[in-house]
Amino acid sequence: MLQSIGLEHVWSQDGLSEEESKLWHATLQAKIQHREEEAWRKAMQGKPKLRTYRLLKDRLCFEDYLTHPDVRARETMTRLRGGTNELRIEKGRHRATNRDHILHESERVCLICASGEVEDERHFLIDCAEYEDLRETMFDVVDEKMKEDCAKEVGKQRLMDALIGRAVADKSAAVGLRNAAMTFCKRKAQ
């Protein structure tokens, strides 16, 4: 066991001071965490359903959005992040009937707004014209600078990161955005 996590040189804690014992526990915990994260990353790589999840989640840890008091909103956000949502990007991966074929990603276009864009998480949250009224409420918490940035690709990506889970520099703004996105998703799901 110790060899598998790079601690084969340590055999016993006997005779360690309290400080050395704490260091030992911290080192052991860090090594185990690293090994578990590597196994988790490797397991996710071959699963196309987790394409968005892989972009959002780079550490194996508890996510802040899971503390949101609204169970339905948490559930909807989890489905959006984990690829079990009702968007065409996911539904097109399966045949609805025996006569249907699996749609190529580029064919999984939004049927709501007929824009010809793929209906993925980003289109749903940021671009789909049919959800503009719901989005306005969601964007009330977004400052003017971020709204201006949304005209550019990099700004849209930063906004997307903040809306569905990646950490952003301003923690309080991220919480506000994430809560707004959860409310938006929940309203759309109703």
Q: Are 162 and 105 in contact (CB under 8 A)?
A: no
Instruction: Provide the H-helix boundaries in the chain.
Output: 18-45, 51-56, 71-82, 88-91, 121-122, 132-138, 144-149, 153-164, 171-189
Question: Please, is 41 exposed, middle or buried when counting C-beta atoms within 10 Å of its C-beta (0-12, 13-18, 19+)?
Answer: middle
What are the C-alpha distances in Å from 112 to residues 76, 123, 129, 138?
19, 11, 9, 19
Query: Which of 121, 66, 67, 131 shows the shortest CA–CA distance to 89?
Result: 121
pLDDT score at 35: 92
Question: What is the pLDDT, as a whole number, of residue 51?
Answer: 80
Query: Does the pTM of the predicted model rise above 0.85?
Result: no
Specify the pLDDT at position 117.
Answer: 95
pLDDT at 33: 92
| pLDDT given for residue 154 in this prediction | 75
Per-residue pLDDT of the chain (190 residues; tens, 9 = 90+): 556 666 555 555 556 678 887 888 898 899 999 999 999 889 888 887 788 888 778 888 888 888 888 888 888 888 888 888 888 998 888 877 667 788 888 999 999 998 999 999 889 888 899 988 878 777 776 666 666 667 777 777 777 777 776 655 566 666 777 777 887 777 766 5
For the purposes of burial, counting CB atoms within 10 Å of the CB of 77, is it exposed (0-12), middle (13-18) or buried (19 or more)? buried
Contact 161, 168 (CB under 8 A): yes
What was the pLDDT predicted at 65?
A: 82
Instruction: Determine contact, residues 65/73, Cβ cutoff 8 Å.
Output: no
